Chain A
Amino acid sequence: MLRFLTYRLFSTLLVCTGVSIMVFLLIHMVPGDPVDMMLGESARPADRAALRHALGLDQPLWTQFSQYFSGLFQGNLGVSIHSSRPVSELLLERAPATIELALAALLVSVIIALPMGVLAAVRRNTLWDRGAMAFSLLGVSIPNFWLGPMLILVFSLGLGWFPVSGREYSGSLVLPAITLGTAMAAVLSRMVRSSLLEVLGEDFIRTARAKGMPERIVVWKHALLNALLPVITLLGLQLGVLLGGAVITETVFSWPGLGKLTIDAILRRDYPVVQGAILLISITYVVVNMLTDIIYGIVDPRIRLGSTK
Chain B
Amino acid sequence: MTNRVLLSLLILGSVFMILSCSQQDNGYIRFGLSSAPLRLDPRYATDATSARLNRLLYDRLTDFDETSRAIPSLAQWEQLDSLRYRFVLRPDRRTFSSGERLTSADVKATYDFVLDQKNASPHRSSLALIKDIRVVNQDTLDFELSHADVLFPSYLVIGIVSAKAVQQGINLDHNPQGSGPFSMLAWPEEGRLQLQRRHDKQVFEFVHIGDNTVRTLKLLRGEIDILQNDLPRELVNKLRKEKGVSVFSRTGSNFSYIGLNFRQKELGVRRVRRALMHAIDRESLVRHILGGKTRVAESILPPEHWAGNKQIKPYAYDPEKSRELLEQAGYNNENPLRLSYKTSSDPFRIRIATIIQQQLANVGIEVELISYDWATFYGDIKAGRFQIYSLSWVGVKSPDILRYVFHSKSVPPDGANRGQYRNPIADRMIEQAEIATSIKRRGQLYQLLLKILHDDLPYIPLWYEEHFAVVRQDIKGYRLNADGNYDSLSEVSRQN
Contact with A along B397-418 (1 / 0, CB 8 A): 0000100100000001111100
Contact of B125 with A44 in the complex, beta carbons under 8 Å: yes
Contact of B375 with A47 in the complex, beta carbons under 8 Å: no
Which residue of the partner chain A has the closest CB to B117?
A50
User: Inside 8 A of A161's CB, which chain B residues have their CB?
Assistant: 17, 20
Q: How far is the CA of A69 from the CA of B124 in the complex (A)?
A: 34
Contact of B375 with A33 in the complex, beta carbons under 8 Å: yes
Contact of A32 with B46 in the complex, beta carbons under 8 Å: no
User: Inside 8 A of B17's CB, which chain A residues have their CB?
Assistant: 161, 171
* Shortest Cβ distance from residue B152 to the other chain A in the assembled complex, whole angstroms: 17
Are A171 and B379 CB-contacts (below 8 A) given A42-B404, A254-B214, A267-B373?
Answer: no
Contact of A111 with B375 in the complex, beta carbons under 8 Å: no
Q: CB of B348 within 8 A of chain A? A: no
Main secondary structure of the interface of A (DSSP, over half): helix
Contact of A54 with B120 in the complex, beta carbons under 8 Å: yes
Are A41 and B120 CB-contacts (below 8 A) given A83-B38, A269-B375?
Answer: no
Q: CB of A166 within 8 A of chain B? A: yes
Q: How far is the CA of A235 from the CA of B136 in the complex (A)?
A: 73
Task: Tell me which of A115, A162, A169, A216 contacts B24 (CB under 8 A).
Answer: A169
Contact of B19 with A170 in the complex, beta carbons under 8 Å: yes
- Give the interface segment out of A152-160, A225-233, A281-289: A152-160
Contact of B38 with A169 in the complex, beta carbons under 8 Å: no
Q: CB of B9 within 8 A of chain A? A: yes
Contact of A165 with B214 in the complex, beta carbons under 8 Å: yes
Contact of B120 with A53 in the complex, beta carbons under 8 Å: yes
Contact of A45 with B217 in the complex, beta carbons under 8 Å: no
User: Inside 8 A of B425's CB, which chain A residues have their CB?
Assistant: none
Are A31 and B379 CB-contacts (below 8 A) given A47-B121, A166-B209?
Answer: yes
User: Inside 8 A of B38's CB, which chain A residues have their CB?
Assistant: 38, 82-83
Q: How far is the CA of A53 from the CA of B21 in the complex (A)?
A: 51
User: Inside 8 A of A306's CB, which chain B residues have their CB?
Assistant: none
Q: CB of B100 within 8 A of chain A? A: no
User: Inside 8 A of A47's CB, which chain B residues have their CB?
Assistant: 120-125
Contact of B211 with A41 in the complex, beta carbons under 8 Å: no
User: Inside 8 A of A93's CB, which chain B residues have their CB?
Assistant: 189
User: Inside 8 A of B375's CB, which chain A residues have their CB?
Assistant: 31-34, 36-37, 267-269
Q: How far is the CA of A51 from the CA of B22 in the complex (A)?
A: 46
* Shortest Cβ distance from residue B260 to the other chain A in the assembled complex, whole angstroms: 17
Q: CB of B477 within 8 A of chain A? A: no
Q: CB of B173 within 8 A of chain A? A: yes
Q: How far is the CA of A302 from the CA of B15 in the complex (A)?
A: 44
Task: Tell me which of A31, A42, A164 contacts B214 (CB under 8 A).
Answer: A164
Q: CB of A46 within 8 A of chain B? A: yes
Q: CB of A137 within 8 A of chain B? A: no
Q: CB of A143 within 8 A of chain B? A: no
Q: How far is the CA of A160 from the CA of B218 in the complex (A)?
A: 11
User: Inside 8 A of B391's CB, which chain A residues have their CB?
Assistant: 41
Q: How many residues of A contact B (CB 8 A)?
A: 55
User: Inside 8 A of A168's CB, which chain B residues have their CB?
Assistant: 24, 192, 207, 223
> Which of A43, A156, A165 has the largest number of chain B CB atoms within 10 A?
A165
Contact of A163 with B120 in the complex, beta carbons under 8 Å: no
Q: How far is the CA of A241 from the CA of B376 in the complex (A)?
A: 29
Are A256 and B378 CB-contacts (below 8 A) given A43-B46, A82-B38?
Answer: no
Residues from 1 to 58 in B contacting A, C-beta threshold 8 Å: 1-2, 5, 8-9, 12, 16-17, 19-24, 38-39, 46-47
Are A165 and B209 CB-contacts (below 8 A) given A44-B126, A84-B173?
Answer: yes
> Which of B20, B38, B46 has the largest number of chain A CB atoms within 10 A?
B20
* Shortest Cβ distance from residue A160 to the other chain B in the assembled complex, whole angstroms: 7
Residues from 204 to 253 in B contacting A, C-beta threshold 8 Å: 207, 209-211, 213-214, 217-218, 221, 223
User: Inside 8 A of A21's CB, which chain B residues have their CB?
Assistant: none
Q: CB of A75 within 8 A of chain B? A: no
Are A33 and B379 CB-contacts (below 8 A) given A163-B221, A254-B211?
Answer: yes
Q: CB of B448 within 8 A of chain A? A: no
Q: CB of A72 within 8 A of chain B? A: no
Which residue of the partner chain B has the closest CB to A252?
B211
Contact of A171 with B404 in the complex, beta carbons under 8 Å: no
* Shortest Cβ distance from residue A6 to the other chain B in the assembled complex, whole angstroms: 41
Q: CB of B382 within 8 A of chain A? A: yes
Q: How far is the CA of A34 from the CA of B374 in the complex (A)?
A: 11
Are A169 and B23 CB-contacts (below 8 A) given A43-B122, A45-B415, A157-B217?
Answer: yes
* Shortest Cβ distance from residue B261 to the other chain A in the assembled complex, whole angstroms: 17
* Shortest Cβ distance from residue B33 to the other chain A in the assembled complex, whole angstroms: 12
User: Inside 8 A of B125's CB, which chain A residues have their CB?
Assistant: 44, 46-47
* Shortest Cβ distance from residue A30 to the other chain B in the assembled complex, whole angstroms: 8
Contact of B9 with A111 in the complex, beta carbons under 8 Å: yes
User: Inside 8 A of A31's CB, which chain B residues have their CB?
Assistant: 375-376, 379-380
* Shortest Cβ distance from residue A120 to the other chain B in the assembled complex, whole angstroms: 13
Q: CB of A174 within 8 A of chain B? A: yes
Contact of A41 with B394 in the complex, beta carbons under 8 Å: yes
Are A40 and B47 CB-contacts (below 8 A) given A50-B117, A160-B221?
Answer: yes
Q: CB of B190 within 8 A of chain A? A: yes
Contact of B20 with A163 in the complex, beta carbons under 8 Å: yes
Q: Which residues from chain A sit less than 8 Å from chain B, CB to CB?
A: 30-34, 36-48, 50-51, 53-54, 82-84, 93, 111, 115, 118-119, 149, 152, 156-157, 160-166, 168-172, 174, 216, 219-220, 254, 256, 267-269
Task: Show 17 A/B contacts (Cβ-Cβ < 8 Å), sorted by A.
Answer: A30-B376, A31-B379, A32-B378, A38-B38, A40-B46, A41-B393, A42-B401, A43-B46, A83-B39, A115-B2, A119-B2, A161-B17, A166-B223, A168-B207, A170-B20, A170-B22, A254-B211
Known A36-B375, A267-B373; further 12 A-B contacts with Cβ < 8 A: A31-B375, A32-B376, A32-B378, A33-B375, A38-B46, A40-B47, A41-B394, A44-B122, A163-B218, A219-B1, A254-B210, A268-B375
